[in-house]
Chains A and B, each alone.
Chain A
């Protein structure tokens, strides 16, 4: 299919391990977002890419979180030295629109998410 895909769908990590979560956006989508959704809560913004440029990382909860999108398509969210509070569903979304100032908005297409459990 042509939707947003994420892998792995489920990840169990022992506390202290590093994990890498992958997002394949819809081909041609310029904008890519990462969100974190704790159990029973709405998603919360982590970071945003426009092509390969990370324009906003204000939502990353600590310096253990790192995201990249080196070629402007696939993105990886890396969490170092995982902690139990990192357990959540990590959602990736992409959209076609570029952001010029504050003038343009577009529908975001979400992937199925990666459920991370840190034990």
Chain B
């Protein structure tokens, strides 16, 4: 079982829809990251959070430490949101505190 699990693996939505991507993890963490990867490989960090909720524009990230679960929400989705969204964690009790352990990603396609 992977230490970081995401669901769904693939998601298709129509423009304007509210989108939720889920991430569960099974290890102790110091922080959880949501990343966006466009075709061609470039990865952009969207959020880094260790508790509560963060919002940036149409993106909202929440984390529940007790339940070891995080969600990424996209409001009023747009075709330019189409990308792979990756959840990653900085694990505690490792030699390199901030090396990331990644989920396999959620491929989102937003259509007109």
Contacts and interface: CB of A to CB of B under 8 A. Distances in A.
Contacts of A104: 97-98
A19 interface: no
Interface stretch (A21-29, A72-80, A94-102): A94-102
Contact of A107 (B4, B45, B99): B45
Interface in B57-112: 86, 88, 90, 92-93, 95-105
B45 A43 contact: no
25 contacts: A42-B86, A42-B88, A42-B103, A42-B105, A43-B86, A43-B102, A44-B102, A45-B100, A48-B96, A56-B96, A56-B99, A58-B95, A97-B98, A99-B98, A102-B30, A102-B92, A102-B97, A105-B30, A105-B97, A106-B98, A108-B45, A111-B42, A112-B40, A112-B41, A112-B42
A28 to B, nearest CB: 17
B27 interface: no
A66 interface: no
A89 B96 contact: no
Contacts of B48: 105-107
B51 to A, nearest CB: 13
